[in-house]
Amino acid sequence: MSVQERFDKAAADVKSLKSSPSDNDLLEVYALFKQGSIGDCNTDKPGFLDFKGKAKWEAWNGKKGISKEDAMEAYIKKVQELIASIGMA
């Protein structure tokens, strides 16, 4: 399978986890997914009171400079780790 196919499969698999990962794991998965699918963060930083949006933006922006392919590989690895620790429904 190509990196894109494995990335797409991991994106589908992550939706079938038995339970929700920790907030830190969720932010990591989100940031790697965005970096792998879009590239560097291309949106303005959310306002001060948008805590969730700000955390997501900071996580994604923290991946700046990582190539799409490297981010895809890291995403696939992270999802596999979550499946191993949490399991799938």
Domain with residue 8: its CATH number is 1.20.80.10
What residues contact 19, with CB distance under 8 A and at least 6 apart? 86
Question: Between the CA of residue 80 and those of 44, 50, 87, what are the distances in Å?
Answer: 31, 30, 10
Q: Which domain holds residue 38?
A: 3-86
pTM score, two decimals?
A: 0.94
Give 45-86 pLDDT, tens digit per residue: 999 899 999 999 999 999 999 999 999 999 999 999 999 999
Give 71-82 pLDDT, tens digit per residue: 999 999 999 999
> How many structural domains does the chain have?
1
